[in-house]
Amino acid sequence: MGIMINHEARRRDILEKSLRLFAEQGYEDVTLQKIADRCGIARTTLYKYFKDKRQIFDYTISLTTADLTQTYAELTSASLPACEKLKNVLNHVLSLIFLHRLLLTVILDYVLSAQRTGRSMRKPIEKHTIGLKTVLRRLIREGKRHGEIAIMPVGVACNLLYSILESAILRITISENADIAEYKAMIERTVERIRTDDKL
């Protein structure tokens, strides 16, 4: 009787080990053979799951994005004031940033590597961030309609909130001194200031 293989479990294992390899050696220096060796499988077996390392990289990001999309739907449909939903969404993304530090480090390395070759990463980055920005804008508009959020351009308020997450990403991947409690407090203060129209 043949051995039953859980293909989804193997796919996940390949993703996890590839991610660690990318973080250790840099995206450009990792080959499919290195990934196969790390996973303890033949390269021909690896091809059954992924055609190249770019697909492995993209698939990892897609999984995280899909999980986020589902969570956005749950958080934004809650019967709460818009400002509270804003805080919940931002805090959830913040928690994921700290949870997926390794992935973010690999993404940063990949982006910098691509930029060194003259390749623009603006569109790929927008593709993966537009979902969150759309949710933030929608909640800000909802807050303005219900009189919760002060008179402030939606785009300005969105960029203000989004910049907190960008700062967290940079600190956790580059300086490695990010404090999640500090950023949670920053989210709380910023949303409250938008709500009360205080001067920043």
pLDDT band for position 1 (cuts 50, 70, 90): very low
Give the span between the Cα atoms of 22 and 61, in whole angstroms: 13
Pick the CATH number of 1-51 from 1.10.3720.10, 3.10.20.740, 1.10.10.60, 1.20.1440.230: 1.10.10.60
**pLDDT digit string, tens, across residues 114-156:** 888 888 878 888 887 888 999 999 999 999 999 999 878 999 9
CATH architecture of 53-196: Orthogonal Bundle (1.10)
**pLDDT digit string, tens, across residues 37-62:** 999 999 999 999 999 998 998 888 88
**pLDDT digit string, tens, across residues 4-27:** 578 889 998 999 899 889 888 888
Question: How would DSSP label each residue in 27-71?
Answer: GGG--HHHHHHHHTS-HHHHTTT-SSHHHHHHHHHHHHHHHHHHH
Q: Alpha carbon 73 to chain centroid distance?
A: 16
The pLDDT of residue 51 is 93
The answer to whether 80 and 88 have CB atoms below 8 angstroms apart is yes
The pLDDT of residue 123 is 85
Domain spans of the chain, in order of start = 1-51, 53-196
**pLDDT digit string, tens, across residues 148-193:** 998 789 999 999 999 999 999 999 988 878 899 999 999 999 999 9
Same topology, domains 1-51 and 53-196? Answer is: no
* 95 has a pLDDT exceeding 70: yes
| Rounded average pLDDT over 74-94 | 93
